[in-house]
């Protein structure tokens, strides 16, 4: 193990953000789903929507709470480990992050309390409104943090003065070239992730013959969402890729495992990349397909990594494999979505098919893996830069840090996360096991004190 | 002509930090006292008194942090790496405290473990914040625009003093809060805790007030040269008066006064610190104006902040109002 502060700081960043991203990956979609369920309940007054909403709201509360505590860690990482990046970019990036805090946290924390506890305290339209606002808050949060991330990938609207980036055009900064694609691709990924979790949980309940009516409805809703979003996501992914090819060609070269420029470009399905020898070993190539996919033409070429100096290239292995995992999962998802539609159209066969329900269970965590894989593709593919083409990762780290400093803090972060996450997952699994049928909200005596934190609210409503 | 936004941001950040210190301060302090609570019933009530509001309070840590980053990025970029370990330990203690707090309700078998984790997390997070404060007063080794020392430079006897001082301070706020929110035997216990903490706080204020000017001649000059000494004399006098009110009210029937007086002590300490360090944001090196972000950055964020902050404050005030009054057994937290 090398005690290099840059390398260890990257590892620490990856550790805290990878765990953190799993929670928004779930809560962004779930907040919108809950808003939809609340909407159905408000307009139809059918109790089934109420039970479903209550069930998912309890699970939402736990994951949201964990998202908040792991999120507090993030902004401070910029100061502790990446202070030179902070000094250089804060004039441009910090307001975007501050707006996330002001807009999203405000909306979410204000209305989450009403959503979780206010059923009996506020009129039903206000409760529905609260659900909408929480969902809107999670989307605003995605908006600002992805604007920040996108600017690091495709910086715009700045001037450089004494090595610092200063803002010249806020519209250009926020709506930088990769932002619309990244936002659409990410939010769709979050929705799909939630869709597969809902599908898997409902299948689990149904196979045990519990909450049958609710579970069937959840499966139908999830499958109808997925048959739209999964193909859309593949299209969005393609558009995002074309955008990346335009602005970050070296990243695409790494994704494709392409060291040499070849015309027409084949598509490498698999291989073992070797950055030292600049070659793809055991490559399985399909001729011309690379040109078709990436340039939408028969003989277009993408630049191979050899066209960049070595110090400007991203490592190939991680983006290359992560991209294949992401795409592979996308294909599995598409198969599940189409199969589900076909079986659903043929009467109730879907709900009696133990095989398909098992499949739904197994595929339910796939969204999380795809999100992490996609994140590795885009972030490792951005290397060796923090601000693409302008500021190197090696020049971004806090100069005072030694490798041992970071090793110690990383060990501490690892220990705490390994306690927190399994505990939270066990707790959420308990909520799933209780199921929606037992979701009756107990009347809560509130003499004083606002209802508690998400975890408690969940436990109270679950009747602890 | 561009309006100078630095004073506005200075006031906003100062308010955010003060708000955080008072509000998360009292619930961290309640967490510290929790470790000394006499029985399970008391612990449940103590927990219930902060359960509704402490996550909202903690959100201000993000506001403070991101606000400092946005308005005075150079300060953020120099100070935060300088207190690398205190910050990391504070964050992890806060996370652990949060999780401990939640899961205390979940696993009765493990309740004792989570009880201890909650109290220890609160104490460690507070101590770490005190260390950050002490390091700030102590100053940092700066070269150009970066912190040039090591990750252990902060470790001096002085920061250990400020770390312990803040534990007493937050616990005093916590005792004030419990006096306000509880009654009977628990309230009497909180009042006794409050007096113990007050002795610690007074000792700490005197200690820091002697130590700081001895270490920094500039600060000594600011306070003790004529006519400053006459103009600034009310600061220690008012502080002493508030300390007396605190002691007196803890022994009487006053319910709200101990909490308000504790806030008053924090306000005076805050003021004293501001007088000592003004106009530095990276002490003894960079002024607020030198560390400020570009006018465009400050303006861009100010527009939204001025619009959103009043709404946030109104909501917060409303939530405190809705759940006013004493916490009693069976209030509905279990």
The DSSP string of B84-126 is HHHHHHHHHHHHHHHHHHHHTTT-GGGHHHHHHHHHHHHHHHH
Question: At a CB cut-off of 8 Å and minimum separation 6, what does B185 contact?
Answer: none
Partner-chain residue, chosen from B147, B300, B311, that has the shortest CB–CB distance to A95? B300
* Residue keyed to tokens 């501050």: A98
Residues 49..78 of A with a Cβ closer than 8 Å to B: which?
Answer: 65, 68-73, 75-76, 78
Find the residue in A nearest to B329 (Cα).
Answer: A447
Residues 406..435 of A with a Cβ closer than 8 Å to B: which?
Answer: 408-409, 412-413, 416, 419-420, 423-424, 427
Considering the domain architecture, whether residues A366 and A407 belong to the same structural domain is answered as no
**Tens-digit pLDDT profile for residues A356-415:** 889 999 999 999 999 999 999 999 999 899 999 899 998 899 888 888 889 999 999 999
Residue A453, pLDDT score: 42
Residue B302 in domain: yes
| CB < 8 Å to B74, chain A | 87
**A174 C-beta neighbours (distance < 10 Å), count:** 20
A423: nearest Cα among B114, B309, B22: B114
Q: Which of A330, A355, A381 is the last residue of a domain?
A: A381
Question: Per-residue pLDDT for A150 more than 60?
Answer: yes
Average pLDDT over residues A226-247: 91
| CB < 8 Å to B319, chain A | 113, 450
Q: Is B334 exposed, middle or buried (0-12, 13-18, 19+ CB in 10 A)?
A: middle
Q: Which of A363, A381, A399 is the last residue of a domain?
A: A381
Q: Looking at the complex, does the CB of residue A224 fall below 8 Å from at least one CB of chain B?
A: no
State whether residue B24 is helix, strand or coil: helix
Residues 151..210 of A with a Cβ closer than 8 Å to B: which?
Answer: 166-168, 170
Residue B275 in domain: yes
Across A211-220, B103-112, B299-308, least confident range: B103-112
Residue A60 in domain: yes
| CB < 8 Å to B291, chain A | none
Considering the domain architecture, whether residues A13 and A65 belong to the same structural domain is answered as yes
State whether residue B38 is helix, strand or coil: coil
Average pLDDT over residues B306-334: 72
Distance CA B197, CA B25 (A): 14
| CB < 8 Å to A105, chain B | 59, 62
Considering the domain architecture, whether residues A215 and A163 belong to the same structural domain is answered as no
B69: nearest Cα among B22, B18, B9, B132: B9
Average pLDDT over residues A224-228: 92
Considering the domain architecture, whether residues A238 and A270 belong to the same structural domain is answered as yes
Residue A320, pLDDT score: 92
* Residue keyed to tokens 């059918």: A46
| CB < 8 Å to B81, chain A | 79-81, 83, 398-401
Element (H, E) at B67: helix B54-71
Considering the domain architecture, whether residues A107 and A39 belong to the same structural domain is answered as yes
| CB < 8 Å to B331, chain A | 445-449
Residues 94..133 of B with a Cβ closer than 8 Å to A: which?
Answer: 94-96, 98-99, 101-103, 105-106
Residue A371, pLDDT score: 94
Across A107-111, A152-156, A204-208, A399-403, least confident range: A107-111
Considering the domain architecture, whether residues A171 and A218 belong to the same structural domain is answered as no
State whether residue B254 is helix, strand or coil: coil
Sign of CA dihedral A426, A432, A437, A442: positive
Residue A162 in domain: yes
Residue A457 in domain: yes
Q: Which of A353, A381, A409 is the last residue of a domain?
A: A381
Residue numbers of the domain that contains B96: 6-322
Considering the domain architecture, whether residues A376 and A402 belong to the same structural domain is answered as no
Question: What is the tally of structural domains in chain A?
Answer: 2
pTM, full prediction? 0.88
Residue A203 in domain: no
Considering the domain architecture, whether residues A90 and A142 belong to the same structural domain is answered as yes
Considering the domain architecture, whether residues A299 and A233 belong to the same structural domain is answered as yes
Residue B91 in domain: yes
Residue B159 in domain: yes
Residue A190 in domain: no
- pLDDT bin (cut points 50, 70, 90) of residue B105 is low
A64: nearest Cα among A14, A105, A117, A101: A105
Q: Within its chain, how far is the Cα of A33 from the centroid?
A: 16
HEC per residue, chain A: CCCCHHHHHHHHHHHHHHHHHHHHHHHHHHHHHHHHHHHHHHHHCCHHHHHHHHHHHHHHHHHHHHHHHHHHHHHHHHHHCCHHHHHHHHHHHHHHHHHHHHHHHHHHHHHHHHHHHHHHCCCHHHHHHHHHHHHHHHHHHHHHHHHHHHHHHCCCCEEEECCEEEECCHHHHHCCCCHHHHHHHHHHHHHHHHHHHHHHHHHHHHHCCCCHHHHHHHHHHHHHHHHHHHHHHHHHHHHHHHHHHHHCHHHHHHHHCCCCCCCCCCEEEEEEEECCCCEEEEEEEECCHHHHHHHCCCCCCCCCHHHCCHHHCCCCHHHHHHHHHHHHHHHHHHHHHHHHHHHHHCCCHHHHCHHHHHHHHHHCCHHHHHHHHHHHHHHHCCCCEEECCCEEHHHCCCCCCCHHHHHHHHHHHHHHHHHHHHHHHHHHHHHHHHCCCCCCCCCCCCCCCCCCCHHHHHHHHCCC
Across A310-319, A399-408, B36-45, B259-268, least confident range: B36-45
Considering the domain architecture, whether residues A122 and A174 belong to the same structural domain is answered as yes
Cα angle B266, B267, B268 (rounded to 5 degrees) comes to: 90
Question: What is the tally of structural domains in chain B?
Answer: 1
Considering the domain architecture, whether residues A258 and A112 belong to the same structural domain is answered as no
Sign of CA dihedral B178, B179, B181, B182: positive
Question: Per-residue pLDDT for A336 more than 50?
Answer: yes
Across A67-71, A199-203, A230-234, A370-374, least confident range: A67-71
**Tens-digit pLDDT profile for residues A153-169:** 999 999 999 889 999 99
Residue A148, pLDDT score: 94
Considering the domain architecture, whether residues A40 and A171 belong to the same structural domain is answered as yes
**A18 C-beta neighbours (distance < 10 Å), count:** 15
Find the residue in A nearest to B99 (Cα).
Answer: A420
**φ/ψ (deg, to 5) at A177:** -55, -35
| CB < 8 Å to B110, chain A | none
* 8-state DSSP, B292: -
**Contact: B84, A90; criterion CB under 8 Å:** no
Distance CA B69, CA B75 (A): 8
Average pLDDT over residues A222-240: 92
**Tens-digit pLDDT profile for residues A435-456:** 886 544 443 433 344 344 444 4
- pLDDT bin (cut points 50, 70, 90) of residue B251 is confident
Residue numbers of the domain that contains A288: 210-247+249-381
Question: Per-residue pLDDT for B12 more than 50?
Answer: yes
- pLDDT bin (cut points 50, 70, 90) of residue B106 is low
Residue A2, pLDDT score: 59
A275: nearest Cα among A321, A313, A324, A322: A313
State the CATH number of the domain containing residue B201: 1.20.1630
């Amino acid at each position: 193990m090398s005690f290099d502060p840059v390398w260890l700081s990257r590892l620490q960043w990856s550790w805290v953000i990878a765990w953190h991203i799993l929670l928004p990956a779930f809560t962004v979609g779930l907040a919108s789903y809950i808003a939809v369920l609340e909407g159905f309940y408000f307009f139809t007054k059918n109790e089934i929507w109420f039970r479903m909403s209550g069930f998912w709201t309890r699970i939402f509360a736990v994951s949201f709470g964990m998202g908040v505590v792991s999120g507090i860690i993030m902004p401070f990482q910029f100061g502790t480990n990446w202070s030179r990046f902070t000094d250089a970019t804060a004039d441009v990036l910090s307001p975007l992050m501050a707006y996330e805090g002001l807009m999203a946290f405000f909306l979410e924390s204000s209305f989450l309390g009403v959503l979780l506890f206010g059923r009996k305290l506020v009129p039903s339209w206000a409760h529905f409104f609260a659900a909408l606002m929480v969902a809107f808050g999670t989307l605003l949060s995605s908006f600002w943090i992805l604007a920040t991330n996108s600017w690091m990938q495709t910086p715009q609207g700045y001037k450089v003065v004494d090595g610092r980036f200063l803002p010249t055009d806020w519209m250009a900064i926020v709506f930088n070239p990769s932002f619309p694609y990244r936002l659409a691709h990410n939010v769709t990924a979050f929705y799909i992730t939630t869709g597969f979790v809902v599908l898997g949980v409902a299948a689990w309940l149904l196979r045990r013959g519990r909450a049958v009516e609710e579970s069937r409805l959840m499966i139908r809703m999830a499958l109808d969402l997925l048959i739209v979003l999964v193909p859309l996501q593949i299209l969005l992914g393609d558009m995002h890729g074309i955008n990346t090819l335009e602005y970050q060609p070296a990243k695409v070269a790494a994704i494709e495992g392409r060291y040499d420029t070849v015309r027409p470009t084949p598509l490498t399905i698999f291989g073992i990349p070797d950055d030292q020898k600049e070659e793809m070993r055991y490559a399985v190539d399909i001729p011309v397909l690379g040109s078709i996919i990436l340039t939408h033409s028969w003989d277009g070429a993408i630049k191979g990594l050899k066209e960049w100096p070595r110090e400007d290239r991203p490592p190939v292995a991680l983006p290359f494999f992560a991209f294949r995992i992401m795409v592979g999962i996308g294909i599995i998802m598409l198969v599940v979505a189409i199969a589900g539609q076909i079986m659903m159209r043929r009467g109730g066969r879907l709900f009696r098919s133990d095989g398909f329900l098992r499949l739904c269970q197994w595929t339910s965590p796939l969204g999380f893996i795809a999100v992490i894989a996609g994140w590795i593709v885009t972030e490792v593919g951005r290397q060796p830069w923090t601000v693409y083409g302008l500021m190197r990762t090696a020049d971004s780290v806090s100069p005072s840090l030694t490798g041992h400093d970071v090793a110690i803090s990383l060990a501490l972060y690892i220990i705490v996360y390994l306690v927190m996450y399994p505990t939270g997952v066990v707790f959420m699994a308990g909520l799933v096991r209780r199921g929606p049928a037992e979701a009756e909200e107990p009347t809560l005596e509130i003499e004083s004190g606002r209802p508690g934190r998400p975890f408690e609210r969940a436990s109270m409503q679950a009747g602890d | 002509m561009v309006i100078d936004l630095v004073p506005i941001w200075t006031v906003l950040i100062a308010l955010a930090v003060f708000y955080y210190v008072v509000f998360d301060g009292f619930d961290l302090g309640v967490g510290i006292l929790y470790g000394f609570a006499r029985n399970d019933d008391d612990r449940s009530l103590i927990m219930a008194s902060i359960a509704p509001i402490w996550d909202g309070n903690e959100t201000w840590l993000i506001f403070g942090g991101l606000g400092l980053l946005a308005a005075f990025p150079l300060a953020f970029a120099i100070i935060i790496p300088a207190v690398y370990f205190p910050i990391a330990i504070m964050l992890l203690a806060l996370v652990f405290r949060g999780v401990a707090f939640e899961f205390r309700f979940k696993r009765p078998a493990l309740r004792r473990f989570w009880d201890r984790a909650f109290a220890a997390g609160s104490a460690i997070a507070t101590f770490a914040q005190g260390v950050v404060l002490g390091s700030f007063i102590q100053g940092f080794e700066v070269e150009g625009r970066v912190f040039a020392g090591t990750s252990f430079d902060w470790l001096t006897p002085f920061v250990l003093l400020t770390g312990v001082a803040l534990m007493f301070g937050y616990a005093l706020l916590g005792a004030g809060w419990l006096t306000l929110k509880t009654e009977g035997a628990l309230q009497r216990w909180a009042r006794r805790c409050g007096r113990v903490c007050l002795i610690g706080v007074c000792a700490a204020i005197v200690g820091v007030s002697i130590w700081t000017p001895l270490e920094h001649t500039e600060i000594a000059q600011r306070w003790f040269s004529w006519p400053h000494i006459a103009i600034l004399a009310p600061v220690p006098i008012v502080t002493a008066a508030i300390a007396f009110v605190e002691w007196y009210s803890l022994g009487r029937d006053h319910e709200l006064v101990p909490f308000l007086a504790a806030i008053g002590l924090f306000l005076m300490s805050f003021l004293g610190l501001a007088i000592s360090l003004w106009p530095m944001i990276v002490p003894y090196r960079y002024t607020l104006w030198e560390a400020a972000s570009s006018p465009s950055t400050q303006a861009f964020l100010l527009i939204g902040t001025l619009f959103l902050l009043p709404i946030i404050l109104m909501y917060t005030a409303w939530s405190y109002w809705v759940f006013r009054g004493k916490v009693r057994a069976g209030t509905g937290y279990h």
